[in-house]
Amino acid sequence: MIPRLAAAPPPSVRVRAPGKVNLGLRVGPVGDDGYHPLATIFQAVSLFEEVTATQVTPGAGISLTVSGPQADAVPTDESNLAWRAAALLAERTGLAADVQLHITKGVPVAGGMAGGSADAAAALVACDALWEAGVPRPDLVELAAELGADVPFSLLGHTAVGTGRGDLLTPAMTRGEFHWCFATQREGLSTPTVFRRFDELAGPSTPRVAPADDTAIMHALRAGDPVALGKALHNDLEGPALDLRPELADVVEVATESGALGVVVSGSGPTVAALGRSRQHALALGAAWTAADVVDAVWCATGPAPGTQIVTPMRA
């Protein structure tokens, strides 16, 4: 009897994209278009989203599954940024939007660390490779900006200055490695709600912003000086986030009392980022948060981390 050969698995591509922390985030007055001009310094950190794109039969369309921490909080329909990324790439290249996407979560959900943006960046790269579309990286960056302000940085990674809505990027020179611990909460914070509270608190006196406002951060990065970086961390959205979620002040206080070099709300929150002296100190900061029972989870990571990259090339 001739043995039956097992069917070969369909072609697939696995891509990894990083989460981020805002080392500095300055917010200008809301414009007529409803958006706030930003001057921010992003750093990618070693918490990653992975997206696997798998070939499906023609006409099957897009499907999406999610696994990993907080997977049940992630939508699996066309509202998901990874789904939208695949659909946008197909539309712009004239290819059929047929793909199975699987997201493996590694970045906190709704925590101000751009996990959804990382999914979108990874989906763009994965689908481009799977469909052999050959879209140049600069064009992928332009598509990324259409999906969200943080998506281009997820493609670039490392450390960068962001202006405009945060999507106009200039790579920043850094030395060394920085050790972070992140405190997350089960209940997220809506980014539009935080910006509205910022407007209410700031009133008509909101100053204009420029990257030069954060020269202390840039100097610390170039020197590889975590002590100086900790002192310079800044986020204009921290006040509104703490106003909406006063309990986050306890998270900041515990990290400060535990010797963190600097503590800041990440993006629009509610994640709080603490900078440690070393990898061991970052772990100790997480232990202090857990012992104080002021967090739902802690995540330790290093930065800067690389941007979106293929980790398993297409296989047939």
Catalytic (active-site) positions = 20, 150
Cα(119)–Cα(122) distance, integer angstroms: 5
Q: Is 313 annotated as a binding residue?
A: no
Q: What is the DSSP string of 48-105?
A: EEEEEEE---TT--EEEEEESTTGGGS--STTSHHHHHHHHHHHHHT----EEEEEE-
Strand order through the sheet with 272-276: 262-265, 272-276, 178-184, 297-303
Question: What is the rounded CA–CA span in Å between residue 50 and residue 113?
Answer: 15
Residue 59, burial from CB neighbour count under 10 angstroms (0-12, 13-18, 19+): exposed
Q: For residue 29, say if its preceding peptide bond is cis, omega within 30 degrees of 0.
A: no
Amino acid, single-letter form, for residue 284:
A
User: Is 291 marked as a binding-site residue?
Assistant: no
- Is residue 287 part of an annotated ligand binding site? no
The answer to whether 111 is annotated as binding is: yes
Does 115 belong to an annotated binding site? yes
The verdict on whether residue 17 carries a ligand-binding annotation is no
- b/e for 152-191, b at 16 or more Cβ within 10 A? bbbbbbbbbbbbebbbebeebebeeebbbbbbbbeebbeb
| Angle (deg, nearest 10), helices 279-292 and 248-257 | 130
108 is in an annotated binding site: yes
Tell whether residue 251 is among the known ligand binding residues.
Answer: no
Is 114 assigned to a binding site? yes
Residue ranges for the known binding site for ATP are 108-118
Residue ranges for the known binding site are 108-118
